[in-house]
Structure 1
Amino acid sequence: MKQIFLYRDPRDIVVSFVYYIMNDFQDDPTYSYLAKCTSQKERYLSDIKGMDLGIINYPNISKWLEKFMGWREHTDVHVVRFKDLIDPELQRRTVSSLATFIFKGQKGVDL
């Protein structure tokens, strides 16, 4: 089965995660921990280094990302950088590459 592995720059992941938790998902277990931080930088560093929440141990960003990196090596996985999908100069080539990966070898599809 073909799969698409879409990834982001880890710095963008950290910024998005902290923003999402602080503004849209205050029921998340990390909210209380992040809310106690005295600055945005401290929140980012907490996400980067990991958080010990007592019952739950939220891993550091490197350990969290490690779970997914092996996917890049599979032949049935097409790797796409998120930034390439939103960059006007790279978008067409990226979408074309995705279409080729998805439809290659299918009858009735002319690439």
Structure 2
Amino acid sequence: MSKGEYLPKVLVNSVPKSGTHLLLQIILGIPGMKFRKATSNSFVFYADQYKDVKTIKSGDVALGHLPYNTNLISDINQEGIKHIFISRDLRDVTVSYMYFIINQCPEHIIYQYFTEHLKTNEERLQALISGIRLCGDDIEKYGFSSFPNILQLYGSIYNWRGNQNLCELKYEDLMRNGESQKKELLKIIDYLWDDLKHLNLSKTHLFDLMKKNINPAKSWSFRKGKIGGWQEIFTENHKKSFKNNFGNFLVNFGYERDNDW
């Protein structure tokens, strides 16, 4: 067999704004791995494309923002696809998503509403926490009637957390240089291969290649990537609204010990 036949089929599945392209760079640091677009028009597999994940071939790494789906689990297992899932503190996701819409995505359905109707980032952040409902002439003016809150938008993707048969990562651990990042990269290597003898690479060498391929400046959607950046923009009203809307979400997913934050 050629070395290429020992390369894995990899699905990088993520909550948006959680280090998707960071993780892609890491996997592309593996010699022979190549990026696999979802379709000719899309770089990422979305919910309605989950069946197409079966087309991932050895040596491919594909990106997905795919909600938890038992049929997808079956397809992944049947095709021998390696599923790497990454998530991030929902508060930082919310802040990053807000800046992404206003700075990088003028085609977004709520862009006009965000930039014309809402005048401050405080208002925009609140809209993502609470959701948006329009009425009357505003529906025609802005082209939509409602938009879900951030948990309604991405909560079903977070539901991959704690599942077996995947490699689960946290953005925060991957972003921290030192032992935390090293542990996560080694976790990925151990998940992808039982041994590396067919690749003629040591674990140390492969680790170095993956780490050296990290370059946030080459990610078009990267802004700051700061851990805990939400603390610089969340007001007390944002905190209260977040807790009221999402309850124990942060506690259940290990981002807080309790609701006293």
Fold match, TM over 0.5?
yes
Q: Which residue among 95, 117, 124 is the counterpart of 1:43? A: 124
Structure 1: where are the runs of 5+ without partners? none
CA distance in 1, matches of 2:196, 2:165: 15
Q: Which residue among 32, 55, 80 is the counterpart of 2:169? A: 80
Aligned-pair RMSD on alpha carbons?
Answer: 2.2
TM-score (norm 1): 0.83
Aligned to 1:92: 182
Provide Cα deviations, 1:44-89, integer angstroms capped at 9, x if missing partner.
1111111236445321112223211322243112111111111013
CA distance in 2, matches of 1:13, 1:96: 25
Q: Which amino acid aligns with 1:88?
A: N
Contact 1:72 1:78 in 2 (8 A): no
Structure 2: where are the runs of 5+ without partners? 1-80, 204-261
Q: CA deviation at 1:3?
A: 0.6
Aligned to 1:31: 111
Q: Which amino acid aligns with 1:70?
A: N
Q: Which amino acid aligns with 2:155?
A: E
Residues paired across the two proteins, number: 111
Q: CA deviation at 1:26?
A: 1.0
Structure with bigger helix share is: 1
TM-score (norm 2): 0.39
Q: Which moved more, 1:5-14 or 1:66-75?
A: 66-75
Q: Which has the higher contact order (CA 8 A, sep 6+)?
A: 1
Q: CA deviation at 1:106?
A: 7.1
Q: Which amino acid aligns with 1:14?
A: T
